[in-house]
Structure 1
Amino acid sequence: MLRILLLLSGVFFCSTSVIIIRSSELPPALVAAYRLLFASILLSPVFFLAWRKHRKTFAATQLKRCLIPAGLLAVHFISWAWGARLTYVANATLIINLTPMVMPFLAHFLIREQVTRREILGTLIALSGVIVLSYGAFRIDPSYLKGNIVCFASMTTFAAYLAYGRINKDFPSIWLYMVPIYAMAALLCFAFSAASLDSLSIVSWREVALMLGMAVLPTTLGHVALNRSLRYFAAQTLAVVNLHQFVFAGILGWIIFSDVPPGSFFLAAALCVSGAVVVVREAARVAAERRRGKP
């Protein structure tokens, strides 16, 4: 139960990202850069504490294993904010929530994890909730093709980033994995910002507060909890449960911005919850059989 709560807390804190991005006026690349920079600074004390504890077993080669997920995270953060501004909101929301559709392929080729039929069933039930939410709003418009493609690429990089979190679950401490990723990804985002923007400065203390919020809530509490959960849950299970970001974001938007969700939102939420229950129960069954020594 505690592991489920950890996973759900990660999904909830990640859902606050869209609320803060909506409140910020910074360019997407700078939002990504500063949230990662502030997170790296805030987490540096726990990184050094973990390094002192595990320095005999933590080698420089493990830092090299952070390079690919850091690159994937940087591309995801920048491309998601960019793509969402190039297409309809409904299109972006639908595409970014298609992670469970590509995760089985990534899980097979990168992690060698098999997805059972019941997990596929639960995934389809959960994805039907996303389709219900986006039905009637998703538009096929040639002028928004670029935005759709960027959002799809962003979704794929996020799925691959999660898959690498599963691959690197053997790190002696989650902080020895996440903090180097944040620092490397921050450098990549600042490099991209320097090449594409006229200024790298934050124009107001309000934006500083928002970026600190991004660093603490979705980046530290959210992504760290998700990657920690990958030590206990299969990548497909996490991808399906992560669909509930739109549920939490919809509720937060209702409370903060008075954005009343449509009736389809509640049906979509019920379908996502039902699908997640099927997937989580199947994952628990598979794990129990492995503990008993069954193939």
Structure 2
Amino acid sequence: MQTAQPLRGALLAATSLMLFACMDTTTKYLATRYDVPLIVACRYLVNLLLMLALVAPSYGRAIMQTQRTGLVIVRALALAATSLLMGLALQTISVAEATAINFLAPLLVVVAAGPLLGERIGAVGWVAALMGFAGVLLIARPGGGLAMTGALLAFACVGLNVTYQLLSRVLARSESTIAMLFYSALVGSILFGLIGPWFWAGRVPSWIEALLFLSLGVYGGLGHYLYTAAFRYAPASLLATINYAQLLWAGLLGWLVFGYIPDGIALVGMLVICVSGVMVALATRRAPAKREV
């Protein structure tokens, strides 16, 4: 049941975005010492264990009930691949830059939602998408000092993120949120649980590193739960404008943990991306209801 409490929804969303930024920062820190597939495996396994321990007793078999299981699994695979590519990108570029490039995804979703989902785009949507692309070019410009390998991995992450978000919109009409969260954790755990051990070099993590590994599952699981809960209290158009707070968190944590500050042109690019995202959100709020497909 949805309740009109926009402030509560905004606070839940802002907290979840902080947790996502913490997850990316922790991933980057651990990626200097461990292989990314092992890091992602720990994230999904802890996430799954938390769902089984804290969520499954309340929902019972409903946690696994789906109507379009194939698409639910494809969505989970897209998220798993996104997690892997983001981790690999974070090995060579900053959290803020990787986050900013990844914010191209919701803008591309706006463009793709027209022909694929029958949603109205409008002139503002097209202008905002072009602005967002221009902002990304300012960040990943030639000669800007950004590692090309990391930038390409981040762009590949964007493509998979678009797939994930489009499938999330389609499946929201038939699937429960908790089931989609469960299958995301389950598929990621199986996939990376099988390949992750092959990337363990036998190094025993310190107690601090072990806590950081465990924290990844908490950040991811709790973050997705709070973000999903936010939609019960606030409209999607309002929450979309808050999404860009993650970029602020990413920049702040990148400075505190790694002492890194993007250059002036990259900061302008991030600002352009934020403005374009807010434009899309405001245009969506004023647009007529979308056509069902």
TM range (shorter): 0.7 to 0.9
Deviations 1:70-91 (A, max 9, x none): 1111111112222444x66698
- Matching of residue 59 in structure 1 with residue 65 in structure 2: yes
Task: Name the CA distance, whole Å, in 1 between partners of 2:167 and 2:206.
Answer: 36
CA gap 1:71/1:186 in 2 versus in 1, 3 angstroms: same
Task: Name the CA distance, whole Å, in 2 between partners of 1:15 and 1:58.
Answer: 29
Q: Is the 8 A contact 1:10 1:222 kept in 2?
A: yes
Q: Kindly state the Cα deviation for residue 150 of structure 1 after the two structures are TM-superposed.
A: 3.9
Q: Counterpart in 1 of 2:154?
A: 151
Q: Counterpart in 2 of 1:278?
A: 279
> 2:46 is matched with which residue: 34, 38, 62?
38
- Matching of residue 78 in structure 1 with residue 84 in structure 2: yes
CA gap 1:255/1:201 in 2 versus in 1, 3 angstroms: closer
Task: Name the CA distance, whole Å, in 2 between partners of 1:47 and 1:140.
Answer: 41
> Which runs of structure 2 are paired with 1:113-152 in the superposition (5 Å)?
113-135=119-141, 137-138=143-144, 149-152=152-155
Q: Kindly state the Cα deviation for residue 250 of structure 1 after the two structures are TM-superposed.
A: 0.8
Q: Kindly state the Cα deviation for residue 187 of structure 1 after the two structures are TM-superposed.
A: 0.8
Deviations 1:209-242 (A, max 9, x none): 112221122x1233344555678537xx85x864
Q: Counterpart in 2 of 1:207?
A: 209
Q: Is the 8 A contact 1:165 1:227 kept in 2?
A: no
- Matching of residue 168 in structure 1 with residue 176 in structure 2: no
Q: Kindly state the Cα deviation for residue 139 of structure 1 after the two structures are TM-superposed.
A: 6.5
Q: Kindly state the Cα deviation for residue 279 of structure 1 after the two structures are TM-superposed.
A: 1.7
Letter in 1 for 2:208: R
Structure 2 SS opposite 1:34: helix
Q: Counterpart in 1 of 2:3?
A: none
Q: Is the 8 A contact 2:43 2:213 kept in 1?
A: yes
Q: Is the 8 A contact 2:134 2:269 kept in 1?
A: yes
CA gap 1:7/1:198 in 2 versus in 1, 3 angstroms: closer
Letter in 1 for 2:196: S
Letter in 2 for 1:167: V
Q: Is the 8 A contact 1:78 1:189 kept in 2?
A: no
Q: Counterpart in 2 of 1:197?
A: 199
Letter in 2 for 1:206: I
* Ranges in structure 1 where 5+ consecutive residues have no aligned partner: none
- Name the TM-score, length of structure 1 as normaliser: 0.75
RMSD: 3.7
Letter in 2 for 1:245: Q
Q: How many residues align?
A: 279
Deviations 1:154-194 (A, max 9, x none): 22112211222222224664222202211211111122324
Letter in 2 for 1:20: T
- Name the TM-score, length of structure 2 as normaliser: 0.75
Task: Name the CA distance, whole Å, in 1 between partners of 2:251 and 2:230.
Answer: 23
Identity %: 19
Q: Counterpart in 1 of 2:25?
A: 19
Deviations 1:110-141 (A, max 9, x none): 53333222123233444444444444654699
